[in-house]
A and B are shown apart, each in its own frame.
Chain A
Amino acid sequence: MKCKRCRRAEAAVDLPSHHAAFCPDCFFVFFRRQVREGIRRYRLLAPGDRVLVCVSGGKDSLVLWDVLMEAGYKTEGLYIDLGIEGYSARSREKVAAFAAARGKTPIVVELAKEGIPIPEAARCIRMQECSICGTVKRYFFNKVAAEGGFSVVATGHNLDDEGARLLGNLLHWQRDHLARQHPFLPEAGTGLVRKVKPLWRITEMETAAYGFLKGIDYVTEECPMSLDATSLVYKEALSLIEDKMPGTRIVFYQGFLDASNPLRQATVEPMADDGEETGFGKGSAGGVPGACSSCGASTFAQVCSFCRLKERVREQRERRREKT
């Protein structure tokens, strides 16, 4: 199969959803255009932004960092070491090697040092690992961004992630979640930093292909905590449909984002974030939230969700210690 763009070289990536196939060089052009279009459509980033890219060592986040650097954005990487035996060390190595090759040093937060490594925390308070992980990550995204003077946080969520999330939200009619699902979550006056998802138009297969062709060494193993994640069921369902009807996924998500979508108009609100948020740095201008009595972060409760979580883990840990 020949490349549909240059019509000379042999194609390396075929994309039925775009009725296209590209050689490596033309695929890079296509990929960067898709990211640029994703950023332009919702003004995710401005040229002067300082971007904190959240990297896990997986393909999406490393590819995102690579593409943003190439596009000339001022970026730094944030790696959160979740404290998962073996997996965290291996993914951290990938991030360090990727950054070093580009003259960067990632900012690292170690949850073990913060007193809340994910596996132990989940065991202590009998909560889903992914749920704890989400709360903890959001906390540190805001904290590191505020302390480091970053104007925006970028994550590597792709079209498959967002499509699966949308399907899950629709199946359960999660109106509040639907209202907050968007590639652009604006900065809130409470010190919540703007969050963007520049890869929202790009599939997992495309980021994997880009990473492979660019020689980006990413961690291919799955997070052992996420093997039973419900999002995988929704992804599976969507990929089944996508195989039969290429292009369905982008139509599904893009149609949801369309401002004329009645569902969107019915649910749209100023979007804070994916869950209860904790913000840093700017106080509570324009909102009810005050400062967390424990850590000082802006929160809608007296104590922020992160500090509450941490306290529950600490209590359970002590109880266990007393028993033994």
Chain B
Amino acid sequence: MKKILILSLSCFLVIAFFASCRKKVEETPPPPQVKEQPKVEKVEKPPVKEPILTEDEIFVKKSLEELNAEKPMMVILFDYDKFFIREDAKPILQNNADWMKKWETVKILIEGHCDERGTEDYNMALGEKRAKSAFDYLLSLGISSDRIKTISYGKSQPVDPGHNEIAWQKNRRDQFTIIEK
């Protein structure tokens, strides 16, 4: 028993000795290289105070893509197989019409879309009727007809690829795209 203890202790000591030796070898660092710090010149430009743009100026500055990305005109939704303007779409169209009245140079494209539960052919006609419904409603709110174009995409451009009522409802829609400003 004692022998084993002494043996293991001496083993331990030997291992510890070597380990410490190795460590020492590792610890000797190479002589540090003398690095000359480059002199940094911070290039600065005197800041120009950004002018506070008016709403009109911001509008002019924006590209059509930027403008459309903000979605100033909201999508309206339709019932299955139907193209009449629903009650919940009326305030949206009012809002869209107000926006068009505010920016009188804007011309828009109304895109009529359908869900996948109609045929390719008939949905092309239905999509166009949906666009026409919004067109007529905007006209009744005083927007001039030469500011609006319509197109149908049928069911070829769904926003939601799902196959459930939530997706279908999202896809039965009119989208309003600004094409001129």
A binds B: no
